[in-house]
Amino acid sequence: MDLAQALASLPANPRVVVTGNHATPWHTVKLVDDALDEYRLWALNGQPQLPDREGVVLETSFVGPGQRKSPRLSYVPSRLSMVPSLFGKQLPPDAVVIHTTPPRDGKVSLGVEVNVLPAAIEATRRNGGLVIAQVNHNMPWTFGDALVDLDQIDVLIDADEPMPTAPVSAIDETSARIGQLVAERVSDGSTLQAGIGAVPDATMHGLTSRSGLRVWTEMFSDSVLALEKIGALDRNIPISASFLFGSPELLEWVDGNERVEMVRTEVTNDPGRIARNPKMVSVNTALQVDLFGQANASRINARIHSGFGGQTDFIVGAMHSAGGQAFLALRSWHPKANCSTVVPMVDEPITSFQMSAIVTEQGLATVFGNDQREQARQIIEHAAHPSVREELREEAVALGLA
């Protein structure tokens, strides 16, 4: 089927789901944008270059830099594990634009980005909508839920473009200290949720002496490859993730690698599935935490900055895992805003709460299992920046926490 003919068959103001994060098929997105006057463009963590014009509503449950400041942003709050159910009910897609490998044996691979796409494809097929694939020879071939039968795709568009990569950067001293504090509490045989960023990377670097580690995560980067290289991971258990982003070396390593199992979001982020992993360790971050152990990781001045993402899914799953731990790791002082990240009471909508511990470069504050006064004392004494501890003690008294 011709793309123009296929798009002409869509209803007025259709909802188009497109591969997000760092795997957006830019060539095909432009073709779609040129063909449709009005539509709703649903993308997870949309990157710069997304069409942002009159007639296009930027719809998402996790806001990226290409959507954040748009007056046409439509943010739909949802835990990431629940987004697939939105496609089946409240937000049915009329078309899906995916980014794939060339076909092999009647299938293509979604490569580095599986995430919510299998659910979007299934919902679109049920609705009689369109599935459009941009075929890119540079996309790594991955397995598991990444594989899509060709008979599920209506239009194939050949368009090679480079895959985005992330430089492997040096870990700063503050991140290294936070990572060390978390790593010290991770034992052999633990299962890791490994994200991207300086603190997760620092945590992984602190685990080089461990053995039998497993990975069950929403996404991973080069820090997992580093653990694989030194033999710290259990070779009998696949590395399970929903998407990945990293260096050219990482993309080369995952290409055709059956060690890596790409899994759809409603499985990777299902708290019940997460809880089945032994000694699950979840490491997430936040913009602010307060003396009640509440965290804001998604809003600034009440405006949406990102979203729930997988934080709530993994905190709950890890806390229910046998021997599991959920850490919230962040700097004690916000360098750009020049203020404490530990506040008396978060005044933004809450993203998460009741984790095992809050970790900053100042130390580790044990949260779960303590009464609220001891929680507050731990956070003040072990997580807060020394310059604000006295003020926080006074606020704790006013809040009935001391």
Q: How far apart are CA 161 and CA 316, in angstroms?
A: 39
Length of the chain (residues): 402
Contact, 124 vs 95, CB < 8 A? Answer: yes
Q: How big is the CA angle at 230 (ends 242 and 179), to the nearest 5 degrees? A: 65
Residue written as token pair 């729930």:
308
DSSP strand pairing (260-262 vs 143-144): parallel
User: Quick check: helix, strand or coil at residue 243?
Assistant: strand
At 131, list the tokens.
Answer: 């599935």
Active site residues: 218
At 86, list the tokens.
Answer: 């939105």
User: Quick check: helix, strand or coil at residue 386?
Assistant: helix
Between the alpha carbon of residue 315 and those of residues 263, 269, 397, the distances in Å are: 19, 10, 29
At 382, list the tokens.
Answer: 């072990």
In one-letter notation, the amino acid at residue 51 is P
Q: How far apart are CA 161 and CA 56, in angstroms?
A: 24
Q: How far apart are CA 19 and CA 327, in angstroms?
A: 29
The angle, 0 to 180 degrees and rounded to 10, between the axes of the packed helices 173-183 and 198-205 is: 50
Q: Is 389 exposed, middle or buried (0-12, 13-18, 19+ CB in 10 A)?
A: middle
Q: How far apart are CA 87 and CA 93, in angstroms?
A: 6
Q: How far apart are CA 61 and CA 76, in angstroms?
A: 5
